[in-house]
A and B are shown apart, each in its own frame.
Chain A
Amino acid sequence: MSTTSLLASSRQNNHLWRKIKNWLMVSSSIGSALLVILPLGLVLFYLVYKGAAAINLGFFTNVPAPPGDTDGGMANAIVGSFLLLGMAVLVGAPMGILGGIYLSEYGNEKLNGAIRFCADVLNGVPSIVWSIIVYEVLVVPMRGYSLLSGGIALGLMMIPLVLRTTEEVLVLVPNSYREAALALGIARWQIIVKIVVATAYKGIITAVLVAGARIAGETAPLLFTAFGNLNWCTGLNQPVAALPLQIYAYAISAYEDWHRQAWAGALVLIGFVFIINISVRFMTRERKA
């Protein structure tokens, strides 16, 4: 065998090896993607498999029952979650939207950059920390856990989320709209409210909905604020049940009955979160089209 043919065959081997390696790496990346998706499939499967069996009319109309009593439901927790969410939106949405307007319409790059940065930092604050903060500021002076403090804890968490997305959608409004309105002599704030915000209102609603869906599943911020309640909440200054809190309490209990209720509650919670997320996707698709 001549040296040239040897060289050629080794080159060919090398080429083959590279091809095999390419195939191996591409397949392992496919494998990773499958592995990443697997937990979602498993969780959804178990939620439907275990949760659907435990959901009945009583689940939506009754308050929690002791273990052994299969009549229990999470009606108070579902209502409580909506109350908390509503209050969170009342706190978080106006602050977030107005702040987002400032970032998009006013200010200088330096201050806005700092605020943006702080908003991202705030998004990374562990949710349990919010619980302690609101406990110290509201629960201690009010001498008790309450719906009010739970809603405010969630609302504070919403502010940076809403602020960042609101700014993003407002920036998308073409500048020519603002210029045209300015040329007509309309005051700046009226331009912002009646033209810029009005143009982007769908995006802003989306921002609030997405933030709401994120907040709806939060448990840790409610631990020392809303606290949970086995019965109906009777006032702003009373502790209130919430779906995630109830799921947590039941999940770590030792009773089969309560585990079943936890699955059912989780199915309702995730259904709610996914419905918001999916409808938001449809809304944004329409907007782009």
Chain B
Amino acid sequence: MSNATLAVPPAPPQAPAKKWGDQAFKLITLLASLSIIVLIVALGYILYDSSKLSINKFGFGFITGTNWDSVAGIFGALPYIYGTLSSSLIGLLIAVPLSVATAAYLTDLAPVWLRQPVVSIIEMLAAVPSVIWGLWAILVMVPFLRDYIYPTMQKVLEPIPLIGQLFSGPIYGVGILSSGIILAVMIIPIITSVSREILRSVPNIQREAAYALGATRWEVTRIAVLSYAKRGLLGASVLGLGRALGETMAVTMVIGNKSDISASLFAPGYSLASVIANEFGDATTPMHQSALAELALVLLGVTLTVNIAAMLLVKTFTTKETRRVA
């Protein structure tokens, strides 16, 4: 109480010039950091504004329509939404087990001297530009899969009831499955590095407790580490999904660019991002441009929702950084 009355002496008045400089500097930096929020709002607004024409004309039917005919002026996005979702899910299906296993290997199972080099290699993997993955995929990976892997897959898997359909039909090489595979390659680095950070933040006492019960290395990893980190790992995977959904160049180069919805994974498809990439430059009618902008709006909405969900999942898991309060 007496402490409260013993007030801190008032700060000596600053020279006005100094104060002016301070405030100007603070304002400039504030504006720069607020640009982030302005950018997000602007992104949404500009896309909405440019797609108004198409939103007003097609309404919800835009999402469910299967016909995309720029000459007739009819635009339905379903084949593209299907292509984006199916290729991303295939990518995720391949990438998640590999990434989580690699992350577990790097945090718990690998010899210590090996960990940093492998982490560096995975960082390099993340630095390879999308267009280079696309180039390699279209000139090397796709021909290889088409000639050697897909025919065998078809022979083995097509007779199986229910899932056989997925592997039926002619094999072009390019298609949903191929783009799923290249997406897997591209999202593995991010899922692995986020998973690794999550596994590293699992308290060591978890591991020690499991070892004390006589668990083997794998049992420690499974019981004490992986199941403890479930939520965070889910977040890492969803983050990978967000990346896969928005990936443009590599997918455009290998998905086949055909707006069909086919049961077969070997069939060519089309994704939201690749339609935009292929058609936006040539779109001559305002309605066509507007429909493409609406595709971008849909894409933005989906990826942002997925990313935010992922960030929240990861955030609740990782240890809160102790930040200095300015």
List the interface of chain A (C-beta within 8 A of B).
18-19, 21-22, 24-26, 28-30, 32-33, 35-37, 39-40, 42-43, 46-47, 94-109, 114-115, 117-122, 124-129, 131-133, 135-137, 156, 159-160, 163, 171, 175, 187-190, 192-193, 213-214, 216-220, 223-224, 227, 244, 247-248, 251-252, 259, 262-263, 266, 269-270, 273-274, 277, 281
Contacts and interface: CB of A to CB of B under 8 A. Distances in A.
- Indicate the size class of the contact surface on chain B: 35 or more
B139 interface: yes
A43 B326 contact: no
Nearest to A119: B36
Interface in B117-168: 118, 120-125, 127-136, 138-140
A129 to B, nearest CB: 5
For the residues of A in contact with B, the DSSP-based class is helix
Nearest to A190: B21
B50 interface: yes
Interface stretch (B61-69, B70-78, B211-219): B211-219
B157 to A, nearest CB: 20
B138 A251 contact: yes
A277 B248 CA distance: 23
A180 B118 CA distance: 42
Contact of B246 (A103, A108, A126, A133): A126
B223 interface: no
A125 B245 CA distance: 10
A19 B37 CA distance: 54
Given A36-B122, A36-B188, A251-B135, A129 B30 contact: no
Contacts of A224: 280-281
Contacts of A37: 118, 121-122, 125
Interface of B: 14, 18-19, 21-22, 24-26, 28-37, 39-40, 42-43, 46-47, 49-50, 97-99, 101-102, 104-106, 109-110, 118, 120-125, 127-136, 138-140, 185, 188, 192, 216-219, 221-222, 242-243, 245-249, 253, 273, 276-277, 280-281, 292-293, 296, 299-300, 303-304, 307-308, 311, 323-326
10 contacts: A46-B139, A106-B26, A108-B325, A118-B37, A125-B303, A126-B300, A163-B33, A189-B22, A189-B25, A192-B25
Contacts of A193: 25
A28 to B, nearest CB: 7
Contacts of B128: 40, 43, 217, 270, 273
Given A248-B135, A266-B131, 10 more contacts: A21-B216, A95-B35, A99-B35, A105-B29, A117-B311, A126-B246, A128-B246, A156-B39, A189-B24, A223-B281
